[in-house]
Structure 1
Amino acid sequence: MTDPNLSLVLASTGLAAVAMVTTATLAGWRGWLALKRQELTLSEPQESPALGNTGTRIELADLKERIRKLEAIAAGVDL
């Protein structure tokens, strides 16, 4: 068991196995990142800025009105 060639072969085999696992893991990681980039790209709104801005303003005004009504109800004020 003191053969230096055996130790060299075992070390080389271990190093090759670690290199293969690392390469496969790196390829999987890059694929996962590409998938997440694609999901983020597809989830972005495709509206024009002018339409999205107007819709956002309307929604904000509606939410502010609802909050005002809820605060009035909480304070006991009749509308």
Structure 2
Amino acid sequence: MNDPEFYMLAVFAALTGLAMITMAALTGWRGWLNLKQQELELTGERRHQPEPNSAGARIEIADLKERIRKLEAIAAGVDL
């Protein structure tokens, strides 16, 4: 059991296995980063798209503005 060739073979096998695991983990990490980059690019494209100019969108914006005006009046203590 004191054969140096056995220990060299065991160390070589362990290092080879470690290298394989490291390469697999690195490949997975790069794939995950690529996925996240694609998600960021997709959300960036959505963010820069103009708001649809439909009647429903305008009504909703007007409703939100009215709510904000009422909340500001309540915060200022003004009766409507």
TM-score normalised per structure 1? 0.69
Distance 1:26 1:75 in 2: 58
- Aligned residue pairs total 66
* Equivalent residue, structure 2, for 1:43: 43
* Equivalent residue, structure 1, for 2:74: 73
Q: Percent identity?
A: 50
Distance 2:34 2:72 in 1: 46
* Equivalent residue, structure 1, for 2:19: 19
RMSD of aligned Cα (Å): 2.2
Gaps of 5+ in 1: 53-58
Superposition deviation, residue 75 in structure 1: 4.2
Q: Match of 2:79, SS?
A: coil
Is 1:2 paired with 2:5?
no
Superposition deviation, residue 71 in structure 1: 3.5
Gaps of 5+ in 2: 52-60
* Equivalent residue, structure 2, for 1:56: none
The runs of at least 4 aligned residues of structure 1 exceeding 6 Å deviation read none
TM-score normalised per structure 2? 0.68
Quick one: which amino acid aligns to residue 38 of structure 1? Q
